Amino acid sequence: MGARCYRDAIETEEHIVSQTDRTRDRLIETYRKKAKHYDITSRLYPVPGYPQREQRLRAVQALGLRAGDSVIDIACGTGLNFPLIEEVIGPDGRIVGVDLTDAMLAQAQDRIETNGWSNISLVQADAANFDFPTEVDAILSTYALSQVPGCAEVIAHGAAALSGGGRWVVLDLKVPGNTPAWLAQLGTAIVRPFASIDEWIMRRPWEAIRAAMQEELTDLSWTELFFGTAFLAAGSRGPGTFGVRPRGSGHQ
Ligand SMILES: C[S@@+](CC[C@H](N)C(=O)[O-])C[C@H]1O[C@@H](n2cnc3c(N)ncnc32)[C@H](O)[C@@H]1O
């Protein structure tokens, strides 16, 4: 490669990296502002009256958890899923909550202390770079993975970390198929104050998530929720070389 080509390549790489950093910094700033009141305002997400709690319950059920299981909650935010998971895994289970935003994790920590849970640890990390612990029973991500530019890689890294038969479940928003243009524009106008929606619509991350889950997992189920405005995707890791590990054995 000539010196000029090499310099151009380096500059392009630096441009992409700094753009990614800027996007990440903006996202952290946004969630720092939202963190304190997130548990209340998220009830209006993406619009008032949206059946978010029902969807969240379905997502946790789709994990097929048992007492003693280990669960990773990717982009856990303030930990709204924790009580639902704790109810099933009990004190012998374990949750690792991962999130990019310090202020969201601070709220999650308050929730942990208020409930006296001693089996939850929090990690501040970009999901795209998170070093998954191995042999986990289940991985969950709710209303978040589509915000991660490298969402397909996160699915792949998580799938590799699951024990045989372990479950990966993603609940997230999407744009309904066959949406009339006027409805899509109206929806965009409603949601725009809450999110950087235009970039998200262009990127169509739910398609990348579906393709990655199809690739990495067996028995993928894909359910569209609330008129196609959300999806619940769930799949398992195949048995692997050493067979299916007994679930709920409380491994760390
Ligand atoms: C809409 S909130 C959802 C929080 C939680 N999962 C829930 O269901 O309430 C999105 C969360 O994703 C986190 N997030 C966004 N991009 C991330 C990334 N690349 N890595 C880790 N967390 C990220 C944000 O900090 C925020 O807490």
How much is the pLDDT for 88?
A: 98
Q: Does residue 163 line the site of ligand 1, with CB under 6 A? A: no
How much is the pLDDT for 200?
A: 81
Q: Does residue 148 line the site of ligand 1, with CB under 6 A? A: yes
Q: Does residue 52 line the site of ligand 1, with CB under 6 A? A: no
- The token pair at 201 is 């619509």
- Lowest mean pLDDT: which of 42-51, 126-135, 147-156, 159-168? 42-51
Distance (angstroms) between ligand 1 centre and the Cα of 34 equals 11
pTM reported for the whole predicted model: 0.88
d(CA 62, CA 17): 36
Distance (angstroms) between ligand 1 centre and the Cα of 77 equals 5
Distance (angstroms) between ligand 1 centre and the Cα of 165 equals 26
Distance (angstroms) between ligand 1 centre and the Cα of 96 equals 14
Q: Does residue 27 line the site of ligand 1, with CB under 6 A? A: yes
Quickly count: other Cβ atoms within 10 Å of residue 158's Cβ.
28
Q: How confident is the model over 206-252, as pLDDT tens digits?
A: 999 999 999 999 999 999 999 898 999 999 998 864 445 555 444 43
Residue 1 has pLDDT above 60, yes or no: no
Q: Does residue 127 line the site of ligand 1, with CB under 6 A? A: yes
Distance (angstroms) between ligand 1 centre and the Cα of 214 equals 23
d(CA 36, CA 118): 23
- The token pair at 83 is 């009580």
Q: How confident is the model over 26-47, as pLDDT tens digits?
A: 899 999 999 999 999 988 877 8
How much is the pLDDT for 190?
A: 61
Q: How many helices (H) and strands (E) does the chain have?
A: 9, 7
CA nearest 209: which of 147, 168, 152, 150? 152
